[in-house]
Structure 1
Amino acid sequence: MINVYTDGASSGNPGVSGAGVYIKANGKIYEYSFPLKEMSNHEAEFHAVLKALEICQENFPDAILSFRSDSKLVVDAIEKDFTKNKTYLPLLEKIRGDSSKFPYFFIKWIPDKSNYADKLARKAIQMQ
């Protein structure tokens, strides 16, 4: 099982944003920071999940994925497979498609202080 922590951050809301991805796999740690364009914090959270799925597809294509995020909005949207928000809907649909390529995909909410990806998302903003 691959443990994946994702986080999105924005400097302003909307503002310059970043995504952080922290992966624990096969006894190793992988850390990624992705600068994003100007968007809301919630959009950045969705993009962080998408970036993590891309990384997993490239590096762990047949793995069981256990995602963790401190965004209740994102976790709830993915678990319920539903959002009314027209901005988030295409992102949710892409997550649905990308996650379906794996044998199992789980996501659960964690508190901010437990999210290893937080500093990586902030770093991505500073990279811009």
Structure 2
Amino acid sequence: MAMAASTSEGEPMMDINTTPLIDVMLVLLIMFIITIPIQTHAVKLDLPVDSPNQPKPPIDPIKNKITIDAARNVFWNGAPVDLVVLRQYLDQTQTMSPIPELHLQPNPDAPYEVVDEVLAVTKRANVEKMGFVGNEAYAKF
């Protein structure tokens, strides 16, 4: 359907001029956007603080070393342990992924029965990745 257009040029225009209305609305919209506070989505977390006095974890995820000295003392990564604590450490290492290596280094003068007790503890803990370190100390040249 065609629109009827007025052909007389002397008549007043009956349509409203919407250009100033659009300009005012855009200015108001910009002012409204500027005054809205920025929404921040923050999650409050209590992160651990690294302290220099914090003790080193007793279990290394790569390799751990058991040493036995001549005075019948058993050491786990340099710290003295008894056989019960040694078993707890070994059980913890077997649950890690990947399982860390275990290095056993008895002193050449260490009593065999202490070494045997340590080997029995490692066997009961089902340790599979174990090796003897320092075998060159037993070689006679």
Q: TM-score range by the shorter chain?
A: 0.3 to 0.5
Larger proportion of strand: 1
Higher relative contact order (CA 8 A, sep 6+): 1
Q: Please tell me whether Structure 1 or Structure 2 has the larger radius of gyration of its CA atoms.
A: 2
- Give the TM-score normalised by the residue count of structure 1: 0.37
- Give the TM-score normalised by the residue count of structure 2: 0.34
Larger proportion of helix: 1
